[in-house]
Amino acid sequence: MKYSKVKDLLAGTLVNTEVGVRGWVRTFRNNQFIALNDGSTINNIQCVVDFENTDETTLKRITTGAALQLHGTLVESQGAGQKFEVQVTRLEILGDSDAEKFPMQPKKHSLEFLRENAHLRVRTNAFGAIMRVRSALAFAIHQYFREKGFVYVHTPVITGADAEGAGEMFQVTSLNLDQIPRKEDGTINYKEDFFGKHTNLTVSGQLEAETYAMALGQVYTFGPTFRAENSNTSRHLAEFWMIEPEVAFNDLHDNMDLAEDFIRYVIKYTLDHCEDDIAFLESRLLDEEKSKPQAERSEMKLREKLNFVLENNFKRVSYTEAIDILKNSKPNKNKKFAYVIEEWGADLQSEHERYLVEKHFKSPVILFDYPANIKAFYMRLNEDGKTVRAMDILFPGIGEIVGGSQREERYEVLVEKMEKLGIDQEELWWYLDTRRFGSAIHSGFGLGFERLVLFVTGMSNIRDVIPFPRTPQNAEF
């Protein structure tokens, strides 16, 4: 007997044939109607039990969460709410689910409770939808780059470099912390560690990806990255996935074009391939926002917001223009910003970014040409000598979703900058080699995958868009 997926049964092509289906009970009504789900779609298939000819013990075991194997006939449903249903002829309980103990009851659970049950929350409608959307987005990312001729590069997770400079790092070691080997001067003898030196978890694959871009032309990474920062916010994870394309011969404007085109492609793919899931997530968000005051609710419904991104170019605004807008803004004049913008050179805080994106432009914004001294060492210095070819893409409700730049391709300028910032040239000898041999302009960016998933699913806490979140004081599961 071949078993069908719920998704295929709901498509109806097997109507009036004998079918088999396996899945988990979502609800069981009137001792007769099983709503069965197998994860292939957010929708359940109604399975109608001939309760008069089914023994009482079996009926009692049809509880929320139980795993069933059913045989029967797929028929057009007479009832409201579904087009097709299975008239069950044979029913087998594969695995019970004690109704008293199963944590995922058929009722509304708080997101916090669901986080504590991250191994089971994916059995709910919302988390099934989120994780299918996440998977579709990941596939769309690979397909986009493959169609464009990019090579996918796995840059290392364990790195000997301390200089990547994107944030605090976790240490990786095989040393026994109860018996740390020491050198004569008392310092730790990393020669005895697995890699023979001090190693960390990567904060970015960019520097390695650059070496590949200077050979293969167009490359991208898509892998886990890490920050040991004690940021207990709804937008930060200690472990998250990042996409980092890097393209030889691209300047900063090519880089912006790529980022926009890329983001549109993956959102479009997901809208096209996850219709039911996104429709559900849209209604979930509407429900959630009902409890909020009007002013805090989203101006657009989820699909409106996604289509807005597809149909409107991102606003491209230089840092200098942004500072002017902010200086003259009401919240700045009224000192409503926690950090009042006084002059050019100020680092933008999340409150400023939100103002620009959500109040002023009401659109995704690309800020570019930042002051050199608030950006990383590898960014291309502009001819003005004080700004660098950096860009950040800011999204409504999310904040920074992309950070990128044209890279400094000039060996002497790069070395001078590293010296100024005290970055070890010996450690990055291989990075400098890309500027020694056949250097060329090139650009790239990093996109935080979970922030993209947040945007597309309309969820508001980043812990709800990754299967098992890692945050300060939490590495459960």
Residues 53-72 that bind a second copy (CB under 8 A): 65-67, 69
Q: Is 215 one of the binding residues for a second copy (CB under 8 A)?
A: yes
What is the distance between the alpha carbons of residues 470 and 455, in angstroms, rounded to a whole number?
Answer: 20
With CB under 8 A as the contact rule, the residue among 173, 189, 307, 382 that binds a second copy is 173
Binding residues for a second copy, rule CB under 8 A, total 107
The angle at the Cα of 219, spanning 216 to 223, to the nearest 5 degrees, equals 140
Any idea what DSSP says for residue 39?
S
> Of the listed pieces 48-56, 120-128, 363-371, 391-399, which binds a second copy according to CB under 8 A?
120-128
Structure token pair of residue 158: 């364990």
Cβ-based neighbours of 430, under 8 Å, separated by 6 or more = 211
Q: Which residues in 70-109 contact a second copy (CB under 8 A)?
A: 94-98, 101-102, 104
With CB under 8 A as the contact rule, the residue among 75, 166, 188, 279 that binds a second copy is 188
Q: Which residues in 342-401 contact a second copy (CB under 8 A)?
A: none
Q: Is 181 one of the binding residues for a second copy (CB under 8 A)?
A: no
Q: Is 28 one of the binding residues for a second copy (CB under 8 A)?
A: no
Q: Is 158 one of the binding residues for a second copy (CB under 8 A)?
A: yes
Over the window 417 to 456, marking each residue x when it contacts a second copy by CB under 8 A and - when it does not, the resulting string is: -------------xx-xxxxxxxxx---------------
With CB under 8 A as the contact rule, the residue among 154, 292, 336, 420 that binds a second copy is 154
Whether 52 and 67 have beta carbons less than 8 Å apart is answered as: no
Structure token pair of residue 124: 């709910």
Least distance to a second copy from the beta carbon of 461, Å?
17
What is the distance between the alpha carbons of residues 183 and 353, in angstroms, rounded to a whole number?
Answer: 49
What is the distance between the alpha carbons of residues 10 and 453, in angstroms, rounded to a whole number?
Answer: 27
Strand partners, 444: 246, 405
Comparing CA positions, the residue from 21, 82, 30 lying closest to residue 59 is: 30
Tell me the one-letter amino acid at 45: I
Q: Is 300 one of the binding residues for a second copy (CB under 8 A)?
A: no
Q: Is 269 one of the binding residues for a second copy (CB under 8 A)?
A: no
Nearer CB in complex with a second copy: 80/177: 177
Least distance to a second copy from the beta carbon of 301, Å?
25
With CB under 8 A as the contact rule, the residue among 32, 73, 111, 139 that binds a second copy is 139
With CB under 8 A as the contact rule, the residue among 12, 81, 167, 472 that binds a second copy is 472
- For 155, the 3-state DSSP assignment is coil
Measured torsion, CA atoms of residues 275, 276, 282, 287, in degrees rounded to the nearest 10 = 170
Q: Is 473 one of the binding residues for a second copy (CB under 8 A)?
A: yes
Total Cβ atoms within 10 A of residue 314 = 21
Nearer CB in complex with a second copy: 132/451: 132
What is the distance between the alpha carbons of residues 193 and 423, in angstroms, rounded to a whole number?
Answer: 24
